[in-house]
Structure 1
Amino acid sequence: MNGIFSLNLRHLDALTVIGRAGSMSAAVQQVNLSQPALAQAVGKIEGLLGERLFDRHPAGMVPTAAGRIVLMRVERALRYLLHGVRLLRRSARLAPGEHLERRVTMAQLRALIAVESTSSYALAAEQTGLSQPAVHRAVRDLQDLLGIALLVRVGRAVRPTDAANRFVRFARLMLSELRAGMDEIGALGTSDSGRVTVGTLPLARAIFLPELLARFTAAHPGASVEVVEAPYGELLTTLRQGDIDLLIGTQRDPSPTSDVTQEGLFDDDPVIVGRAAHPLCGKQELTLPDLLEFPWVIPSPGVPMRGNWERMFRDRGIEPPRLRIECGSVLIMRGLMLQGDWLTLMSRDQFLFERGVGALAELGDPGPALRRRIAMTHRSDWRPTPLQAHFVDLARALARERGQDMPSSSRLYRTQ
């Protein structure tokens, strides 16, 4: 990310003007820079990226392959910043302003994002490597430029205003586009360079994602993948602001927001799980009294598995039993079941190893009514790098294979 903050937003804007105008002389008037200054700006960006961005001809300047990538990513990035500035000004009922986004600096955005993420000027200074007065000054200058307060003190912490939260989201999206552009530039001439960041939920972590990662890293030895584990709400926020590229987990119905797209991968049928020595183990047909007799450990409300569990009882005309423990951690659920006669719902993948060593067992199958769709979620306007696109293709291929090899159901859960 530090390389991104070395970029000059005004210079990037000038780059797009040159690309549209076709020559440096034609761009001079639009960017309010002299031709030598403009040439120097282009040179600095080319030096930072390590690639020539334009071929110079007597008739003008033609973008190289690297230049076309950079121009596309920069234009998308600056549109995010423009949208964020306009949204912020509109929230304060202020006029849009004349090209305010062109006066915003990377130093200002870096300081604001750091304070927003740490709730502290001191921690922001430590995170960015800047002095605390420099962080204060950068945020103050940005507030003065935009004409609206961005941060407020709440006790000893510093919090962004609601408007600032929305602005920071678009600032992060801008940085995400620039980061993608730098990854694509770095990958020119090789398919191995670049990065994919994936948010994951418990089910995807069990078998599907490890196999996907193994295939991807085998195909791209020089690429890196960051896997982020967090609750769904947190992952969705980081996805929408560009900090992660994809989210793999249970599909939400309806879609959580209009700016993300969910692509179904495969279906999963949760089963009733308990320890291998559970009193219900080996019983051919489970009844409602059986399932009401023993304690359950199930995730908190709002998680699809919780809704499935409640529906399992309500569809049979009975209220779900009181939960003594609400927990979404698969590790804790497994450990708890090994300590006593607890029950839960799990994907078969989630206790594959424990079943293999005879520690946990599938006690019953609630049937297709509790089936859930595992999906890959991304921003609707996401433009993946070639490396990221290949990761998506591998996920789709693995999901198709998985759909063909799903195990058949075992003992059915009966209502009698």
Structure 2
Amino acid sequence: MKIDERHLAQLAAVVQAGGVTEGAALLGLSQPAVSRTLAMLEKRLGEPLFLKGRRPLQPTPLGRALADHGQAILTSARKASTLVEGFRHGRTGLVRVGGTPFFMDALIAGMVAGFQNSSPDVRVEQSYGYLSELRAAIVADRIDLAICPIDMLEEGSGLHFQELLPGRNVVACRVTHPLLLKRKLMGPELLDFPWIAPPPGSPLLADLRSLVLSLGATETKIRYAGGSLTSAINYMKESDALTILPHSVVFAYRNDKAITALPVNIPHPERALGLLRRSGDLGAPAIEAFSAHLRKSFENLRHLIKRHEQSVVWGM
């Protein structure tokens, strides 16, 4: 015998509320409509659903068993309604975000946590890559958003870039580095110290090469390569090694008082850190909510970094 799930849900509401009128109100239905449903169900089953003469209504054993199934339907429907409502307001869903490793580790991971503090039911999947890889991932719909530095985006690329922070890379070192004691730092002195190689394919590595060339050399002493951001910082803390890092990353570690930036300008093209996505693509509400959270977080960070940069005298 096939029983209509809606009839079971109405039965459950009546049992839960203790009366037909009250049960109908729970479901937003009229009392006569629910009464007809219960009468039809009893006729089809050939068994009563409620004990006669009891107020509030009390179900028979069969009525109770069927009402339990109906309650499961009601619970599932309410969860589905909550899910839809949460999805529409960006409180549930999936966000796939990719980005350059050092930015993701130093800045974005904390922003993701801040976003999920208010939207805990949004799942965020993070991946790493540089511009060419991220662009391909967006086009192939493997990620929704990319967070990366860009100096130029070609017209007709089908992508949209929104700046979050001006791009500035710096020479990073430990806070007790000998070069910080120099009253006037001469550029070639940078070549007297060992270096940590930035990740292959990154703008950081390109900027290291530009810096070395601007100092009249073709290479520098690379002592350590292939590590993560954490390993690079830990290496610097225990050595006189230098490396190239985004200024925002150095800023993010300011409270650790372990690394800092040397007052040296690095010759590199104008670039900005920003959000990259498909042009005209209105993503799911969770993606839009996450994007808005990133923009707000970076706006706050921009003001803090600007004050920090103004406290440093840049120049050789």
Matched, 1:229 2:128: yes
Q: CA deviation at 1:352?
A: 4.9
| Aligned partner of 1:321 among 220, 223, 238 | 220
Matched, 1:391 2:290: yes
Contact kept? 1:338, 1:360, Cα under 8 Å: yes
| Structure 2 equivalent of residue 336 of structure 1 | 235
Alignment of 1:38-53 (within 5 A): none
| Structure 1 equivalent of residue 85 of structure 2 | 189
Matched, 1:304 2:203: yes
| Structure 1 equivalent of residue 160 of structure 2 | 261
Contact kept? 2:191, 2:221, Cα under 8 Å: no
| Structure 1 equivalent of residue 182 of structure 2 | 283
Q: Aligned letter for 2:210?
A: R
CA distance in 2 between partners of 1:256 and 1:312 (Å):
30
Q: Secondary structure of the residue that 1:188 maps to in structure 2?
A: helix
Q: CA deviation at 1:255?
A: 4.6
- TM-score w.r.t. structure 1 length? 0.48
CA distance in 2 between partners of 1:214 and 1:350 (Å):
17
| Structure 1 equivalent of residue 245 of structure 2 | 346
Change in Cα spacing, 1:256 to 1:350, as seen in structure 2 (3 Å) is farther
Q: CA deviation at 1:384?
A: 0.3
Change in Cα spacing, 1:330 to 1:381, as seen in structure 2 (3 Å) is same
Q: Aligned letter for 2:275?
A: M
| Aligned partner of 2:149 among 218, 234, 250 | 250
| Structure 2 equivalent of residue 220 of structure 1 | 119
Greater relative CO (CA pairs within 8 A, separation 6+): 2
| Aligned partner of 2:278 among 379, 402, 406 | 379
Q: String of CA shifts for 1:328-383, please: whole Å, max 9, x gaps.
A: 63123223223322101223443457653443233323268566410111123533
Matched, 1:412 2:311: no
Change in Cα spacing, 1:252 to 1:328, as seen in structure 2 (3 Å) is farther
Q: Secondary structure of the residue that 1:194 maps to in structure 2?
A: strand
Q: Secondary structure of the residue that 2:121 maps to in structure 1?
A: coil
CA distance in 2 between partners of 1:297 and 1:207 (Å):
18
For the pair shown, which has the larger CA radius of gyration, 1 or 2?
Answer: 2
Contact kept? 1:367, 1:412, Cα under 8 Å: no
Q: Aligned letter for 2:196?
A: V
Contact kept? 1:206, 1:349, Cα under 8 Å: no
Q: Aligned letter for 1:224?
A: R
Instruction: Say which is worse superposed, 314-323 or 385-394, in terms of deviation.
Output: 314-323
Contact kept? 2:99, 2:146, Cα under 8 Å: yes
Contact kept? 2:130, 2:202, Cα under 8 Å: no
Q: Secondary structure of the residue that 1:243 maps to in structure 2?
A: coil
Q: String of CA shifts for 1:178-201, please: whole Å, max 9, x gaps.
A: xxxxxx998532322211111122
- TM-score w.r.t. structure 2 length? 0.62
CA distance in 2 between partners of 1:225 and 1:256 (Å):
30
| Structure 2 equivalent of residue 209 of structure 1 | 108
Q: Aligned letter for 1:217?
A: Q
Alignment of 1:48-87 (within 5 A): none
What do you get for the CA RMSD once the two structures are aligned?
3.2
How many residues end up aligned between the 2 structures? 231
Give the unaligned 5+ runs of structure 1. Answer: 1-183
Q: String of CA shifts for 1:283-333, please: whole Å, max 9, x gaps.
A: 233212210101112325532112222222434554343535444631232
Q: Secondary structure of the residue that 1:286 maps to in structure 2?
A: coil
| Structure 2 equivalent of residue 361 of structure 1 | 260
Q: String of CA shifts for 1:152-182, please: whole Å, max 9, x gaps.
A: xxxxxxxxxxxxxxxxxxxxxxxxxxxxxxx
CA distance in 2 between partners of 1:219 and 1:248 (Å):
21
Change in Cα spacing, 1:209 to 1:341, as seen in structure 2 (3 Å) is same
Percentage of pairs with the same residue: 23
Q: Aligned letter for 2:314?
A: L
Q: Aligned letter for 1:189?
A: E
CA distance in 2 between partners of 1:412 and 1:390 (Å):
37
Change in Cα spacing, 1:198 to 1:262, as seen in structure 2 (3 Å) is same
| Structure 1 equivalent of residue 46 of structure 2 | none
Q: CA deviation at 1:256?
A: 11
CA distance in 1 between partners of 2:198 and 2:256 (Å):
25
Change in Cα spacing, 1:338 to 1:255, as seen in structure 2 (3 Å) is farther
Change in Cα spacing, 1:351 to 1:233, as seen in structure 2 (3 Å) is same
CA distance in 1 between partners of 2:302 and 2:236 (Å):
29
Q: Secondary structure of the residue that 1:366 maps to in structure 2?
A: coil
CA distance in 1 between partners of 2:220 and 2:155 (Å):
28
CA distance in 1 between partners of 2:194 and 2:84 (Å):
57
